[in-house]
Structure 1
C-alpha cells in the first residue's frame, strides 16, 4: 500500500457523469480518494451518504471527494443518482488504480479494499485511512483535517 509522503499515482478514469477525471486535474485542491467495495451495498451506501451529508464541509476546506470502485459506469451512475451524490464516482473496472494504490490484492480481486487516501494540493499522500468504519469515516476524515 502506498504510504504517507509518497507521490499519489496519477490516473484518468471514467466518471459516472459520462466524462472522465484525472488526479492531475485536481491539483491545487486536496483530494479524498475513497475506494468503496460495491455500489448500493449497505456499508458503501452509509459511507457515501456520510460524504454527501458533509459535502459542504469538504467544499469549504477545498477537499474534493472522489469515489472509486470496480463497478461499471452505469452502476456507479445509478448509485450516485439514487443517493444524490455530488461527487464523482469513478470506474476502475480493470483494477489499475486500486493496484497502484495498494487498495486491492491484485488483478483477480473481486472488490477493492475499504480504504481512503487524503492527497495534498501538490499530489502527495497526506493520510491513509486503512481502518475504515463506514458509519463514521467521513466525520473522522473531517475531524482529522479540522484538528478536532
Structure 2
C-alpha cells in the first residue's frame, strides 16, 4: 500500500477515447486518481458525477482528475457519454495500474477497489485512501488539493 511521501508509480494506459496517458505527463499538476469498480453502477456514477460537477474548482487549483477502472474502452466511453464526464476514464484492462496502486491484488481481479490517491505536482503521493465513500470523495479530495 502506498503512503504519503512515496513516489507515485508511473503508468501508461489508454482512456475511453483511445488517448494514451502517462502519470509523468501531469508533472507540475496535482492529480486525483479515483479507482472505481464498474462503469455505470450507482456508486461509481455518484462519484463520477461529483468529480464532473467540481471540475471547475479542480481546474482553479491546477488539478487533474483521472478515473480508473478495469472496464473496456467501450464500457467507459458509454459511461462518460451518458453522464457527460469532462475528464478521462482510464481503461486498466491489464490491472497493472490497479496492482501498483493497491486497487487490486492480482491481474485476475474482476473489479478495482474504490481507492483514492492524490499525487502532488512533484510526483509524490500526497494522500492515499484505501477505501473511499463514493459520494463524499470528490469534495474531500478537492478540500485537500
Q: Normalising by structure 2, what TM-score?
A: 0.97
- Once residues 61 and 144 of structure 2 are traced to their aligned partners in structure 1, the CA distance between those partners, rounded to angstroms, is 12
Cα displacement (A) at 1:142: 1.4
Tell me how large the CA RMSD over aligned residues is.
Answer: 0.9
Equivalent runs, 1:52-91 vs 2, <5 Å: 52-91=52-91
Note the residue ranges of structure 2 that are not aligned, 5 or more in a row. Answer: none
- Paired residue secondary structure (1:126): strand
Q: How many residues align?
A: 145
- Paired residue secondary structure (2:126): strand
Equivalent runs, 1:1-148 vs 2, <5 Å: 1-145=1-145
- Paired residue secondary structure (1:33): strand
- Once residues 68 and 20 of structure 2 are traced to their aligned partners in structure 1, the CA distance between those partners, rounded to angstroms, is 12
Structure 1's consecutive aligned runs of 4 or more residues displaced over 4 angstroms after TM superposition are none
More displaced stretch, 53-62 vs 101-110: 101-110
- Once residues 96 and 144 of structure 2 are traced to their aligned partners in structure 1, the CA distance between those partners, rounded to angstroms, is 28
- Once residues 3 and 103 of structure 1 are traced to their aligned partners in structure 2, the CA distance between those partners, rounded to angstroms, is 14
- Once residues 65 and 100 of structure 1 are traced to their aligned partners in structure 2, the CA distance between those partners, rounded to angstroms, is 18
